[in-house]
Structure 1
Amino acid sequence: MINMPKFIIDEQTIKDIQLKDLNGRSVFDFFDETITEGAHYFLKEWFYDPIINKQSIEERQIKIRRLEPLAQEDFPFHRVILKDIEKFVKASHSGATASLSLLDFLGIQSPIYYYKKRNILETTEFLLQSHIFYKKINAVQHYDDVQVMIDKIQSYLSKVFKNGDYDVEKLKVNIFNIETYERMIRYEFSNVIKEAIKFFYEIDALLAVAKVSRRNGFSYPVLHEKNSTGKIKMTGLYHIFHKNPVRNDVELSQEKRLWFLTGANMAGKSSIIKSISAAVYLTHIGFPVPADTLETDIIDGLFTSVNLQDNLELGYSHFYVEAIRLKEIMDQIEPSSNALVILDELFKGTNHSDASQAILEVMRYLDEIKGPFVIVSSHITELSEQLKSFPSIAFMKMKIDGDEEGLPVFTYKITQGIAEERLGMWLLKRSGVFESLNKLVPKN
C-alpha cells in the first residue's frame, strides 16, 4: 500500500489557532451546526484530517457548495430518531425485536408491537423526507451520487407505497402486516437503509458547513498544484471570531516569502497571523473561508508558535521554550516543503539585545532556506536595517493612524513598511496605572 503524502500540522499549531475547543470557543465549533450525532463525527473526521490532494479538496468544495441554495430549507430530522432507526435496522432477533405474541393478535398489543410500529413509520418517514430533499438538490443541478441515493430509496418507497401515494400517514401498519414491513426494513432493504443513513450523515455534515458559509458570505479557495504559482493570495480576509472584523488583503510569494511583521501592541499582529493560518487550514480541508477571495498553491504544512508557556517542571525559561518550539517546527519540515510557518513575537522571552541577535541569526537561515513561507512578527523594529540585505524578506506592518489630537487610531490593516510608533507610554497612561500608583505615594 502506497502512503499518500499528508498535510503536516502539530498539536501546538492546532492549539494556537483554536481549531479545537479552547475555553468554549473553537473554529470547529463555529462550523458544527450538525443535527445528528453521526454527522457530528463525519464533520470531525474531515475537520481534523487536512489533505494536500487538489482533486479531493475540490470535490469536497463542490459537495458543500451544492447545498448552499438549500441552506435555509427545513431539515426535519432529529438526533434521537436517527439513532433509534439505526439501532432498529441493526437489531438482532432478541429483546425488543422478538416476535409478537398471541396477545397482540387478540388486540392486547404489547410494547414490542408499538416499538416495531413506531420504527417502521419513522424509518419510512426518514427515507421519504430524504428522498424529497435529495430531489431538491438535483433540481438545482444534477449530481450522480445524489441520484444513486434517490434511486435506492425509491426502490424501498415503491415497495411500501404500491399505489404511488407517498404519504406516511396513509401507511396503515397493523397486526397483520407489521411483520412484513419489519422484514423489508431489517432484511430486504437493510443495506439500502444503512447506506441511506450514512449518506444522510454526510449530507447533514456538509449542510452544516454550507449554512455557515451562506450566512457569513464565505468564499471557496481557488487551488493550484504545489509550487505552481509560488503564491498565497487572499483578499478581504478576516477572522471568524471577530464580530465587526476589519478585512485585509494578503499576498505571500516565493520571491518575498519571508515576512518581518512589525506593529505596536494592540495593533493587530496576532489577529492577522491567526486569520492567515486559519484560512490556510480551512482551505486544506475543503471548507469555505472568511475572505472575499483566496487563491493558493497546495501547501504541505502549517506550523505556528504563538501561545507558548514556560515549562516550570523542567526548569525551562520562556526563551528556551521558544527555542525548543522553533527546533520542533524545523525538524518536521522537509527540504522540499512549502509549509507556512508563523512565529509570533519571536524570542520575547529574553532581553532586547539577546532577542535582536537571535532573531537576526534565525532570519539569516530562513532567508537561505528555499520553500517555506515564513511570517515572523516582532516589536524590535531596529532590526529592519540589518534585515534589508536579505533578498527574500518583505517588511509588513500594522497601520496606525492619528486623530486630530495626535492620538493613535488602530486601523487593524496590514500594509508594507516598518512600524515606527512607540505606544508603550501612551498605553500605560490609558490604562490608568499611573493614577493607581499615585494613590500609593505618601502625601506630605
Structure 2
Amino acid sequence: MSFIADKQTLDDLSLLGKYNAGSIFSLFNQVHTRGAEKLLDIMFRHPLTEAEKINSRSEAFRYFGEHAAIFPFDEQQLNSMEAYLEEGGSGNAPLVYWQVGRKKLMELLVKEDTYSLLVEGMNTCINVLKCCAGLLKQLEKEGRDTNSPWEKWAAAARSIIEDKRLTAYDTAERSVFQTAGLHYLLTHVFQSRLKHLLELTYEIDVYITVSGIARERDFTYALALPKGKNILVAEGVRHPRVEKAVPNSIAFNGDSNILFLTGANMAGKSTLMKATGIMLYLAHMGFPVAADDLQFSVLDGIYSSVNVPDDLNRGYSHFYAEVLRVKKVAEEVDSEKHLFVIFDELFKGTNVKDAYDATLAVTAAFTAFRECFFIISTHIFEVGEELKAEGDSIQFVFLPTVMEGTVPRYTYTLQKGITEDRQGMIIIENEGILDML
C-alpha cells in the first residue's frame, strides 16, 4: 500500500519541487549526481509504510551522519559512464567485434568520431572502476565495508573489479581487437552489474548528502513503530525552513487524538501545523526531521487543508471548496485508514455563525476516529468551550500574544488552554490604514 498524500497536501506543505527554492525537496537536493537527484525525487514521491524499512533507511542516514564521508566520485564521469552503458552494445560477441571494427575503419576513411567516442566512454568506465578500487581499499582498511551501508556497494564493486576477465585489458594501449573485447565485456557481460553499481553509488550520494544536511541543521532521526501502537510523540518540533525556529512538543494517542489550536493571526498556528506535517512526511521517508525526538506509529497518509483554492471553472466558491475538502477527508477517515489530518481555520470562507456550527460539529465527529490524529485550528475560540464536553480526547492548546503597549509580540510557544486573543483591528490601526482613509 502506498503512503497517501494528495496534491493539495503536497502543495500545502511545499514538499516537492526541484525548481521551487522554498520546497523541502530543494532543501535536501544538494546531491552531486543526476542519478542521485532522480533517486531523491523517487524517495520524496514514495514514502514508506513499513516500520522496519523506515527504521532501516534512518539507520543508514544515521551511520553516515556519525561517520562523515566525502562523496569520492566525479559527477561528470558517472554521467558519462551511465550514457556509455545505455548506448553500449547488445547482441552476440561477433556482431560487437564487427561493429567496433567498422567504427575504426570509418574513422580512418572519413574521420568519423564514433570510434573515439566509444573509446572515451570505455576509458571513463575504467576510470570509475579504478576509483571504486581505491575506495574499496580505504573502506577495507577502516573496516566499513561490512555491516554498514557501504556493504552492498562494496560487494557490487568487488564482483566486477576482482573479475579476472578485466585484467587482460589492463593496459594503456589497446588494439582494435582488444577495444572490441573490452567494449563487449563492459556493455554486455558486465552491463547489468555496472548499472547496479551506479544505482548503489547514487544511493551513497543521497546518504552522504542528506546526513550532512541533518548534521549541519541539527536534525534527528525518528523511531517508527508498528501501526497498532497508535501513538505520536514529538519533542522540539520546528519548521525545517525557518531559521532559529521556536521548538514545540506535541503528543497524540488513541485516547487523545485531536489538538484544538487557537491563537491570533501571525501567532504561528499555520507554521506549527505545516512543521508537524512535514516532520511526519519526512519521517515516513526515513529522512532526518526537524525535531529533538520523534516516535510515531506508521500512518497510511497525511491530509491537509491549509490553502484550499476556489475553482472558478467549476463554479466552486472558496467555502464550497472547503466543504468538498472536508468531505474527502471524512470519507478517508471513515474507511478505517490511519491518517494525520491538518485543518487550518475550518470554514473560513463562510459567515461566523455557520463557521461556528460547522467547526463544532465536524471536530466533535472526528473524536470517534481514534486511529487518526487531527490538528484543527480556528479563530472562533468559543467553539473550544463547547468542545470541552467531549472529554479528554481533545487537547486544547494555543499560541499566545503578548501586548507591549499597542504592539503585539508572539512567543510561538504552545500553552495549554484556549486563547481569546484577537489583534486584527490593532494591526490594522498600527499600519495607519484608518488614518489614510
TM-score by length of 1: 0.86
Q: Structure 1 unaligned segments of length 5 or more: list them.
A: 164-169, 438-444
Aligned ranges 1:202-351 → 2 under 5 Å: 202-228=203-229, 230-351=230-351
Do the aligned residues in 1 keep the contact of 2:219 with 2:289 (CA within 8 Å)?
yes
Q: Deviations over 1:216-250 (max 9, x none)?
A: 2211101211131x321111211111122122112
Do the aligned residues in 2 keep the contact of 1:70 with 1:137 (CA within 8 Å)?
no
Do the aligned residues in 2 keep the contact of 1:96 with 1:115 (CA within 8 Å)?
no
Find the residue that maps to 1:314 and give its secondary structure. coil
Asked if 1:148 is matched to 2:152, the reply is: no
Do the aligned residues in 1 keep the contact of 2:107 with 2:114 (CA within 8 Å)?
no
Q: What is the RMSD of the two structures over their aligned residues, measured on CA atoms? A: 2.8
Q: Deviations over 1:19-42 (max 9, x none)?
A: 122854311121122222222222
Cα distance in 1 for partners of 2:289, 2:31 equals 18
Find the residue that maps to 1:241 and give its secondary structure. coil
Q: Deviations over 1:163-218 (max 9, x none)?
A: 9xxxxxx9513446433433332344333322212222222233332222222221
Cα distance in 2 for partners of 1:137, 1:273 equals 43
Match of 1:195 in 2: 196
Q: Structure 2 unaligned segments of length 5 or more: list them.
A: 90-95
How far apart are 1:113 and its partner, in Å?
Answer: 4.4
Aligned ranges 1:384-423 → 2 under 5 Å: 384-391=384-391, 392-403=393-404, 405=405, 407-423=407-423
TM-score by length of 2: 0.87
Q: Deviations over 1:49-95 (max 9, x none)?
A: 122111111122223233335555143321x4323222323423599
Asked if 1:29 is matched to 2:26, the reply is: yes
Q: Which amino acid is 2:131 matched to?
A: Q
Cα distance in 1 for partners of 2:97, 2:323 equals 61
Match of 1:6 in 2: 2
Q: Which amino acid is 2:126 matched to?
A: T
Match of 2:74 in 1: 77
Cα distance in 2 for partners of 1:202, 1:74 equals 11
How far apart are 1:334 and its partner, in Å?
Answer: 4.4
How far apart are 1:300 and its partner, in Å?
Answer: 1.8
Q: Percent identity?
A: 28
Q: Which amino acid is 1:81 matched to?
A: Q
Do the aligned residues in 2 keep the contact of 1:218 with 1:292 (CA within 8 Å)?
yes
Cα distance in 2 for partners of 1:134, 1:15 equals 42
Cα distance in 1 for partners of 2:334, 2:226 equals 18
Cα distance in 1 for partners of 2:387, 2:435 equals 40
How many residue pairs match? The answer is 422
Q: Deviations over 1:258-287 (max 9, x none)?
A: 111000000000000000001111111111
Task: Go from structure 1 to structure 2 and tell me whether the alpha carbon gap of 1:227 and 1:97 turns closer, same or farther (over 3 Å shift).
Answer: same
Do the aligned residues in 1 keep the contact of 2:70 with 2:208 (CA within 8 Å)?
no
How far apart are 1:369 and its partner, in Å?
Answer: 2.8
Asked if 1:360 is matched to 2:367, the reply is: no
Do the aligned residues in 2 keep the contact of 1:19 with 1:27 (CA within 8 Å)?
yes
Q: Which amino acid is 1:66 matched to?
A: Y
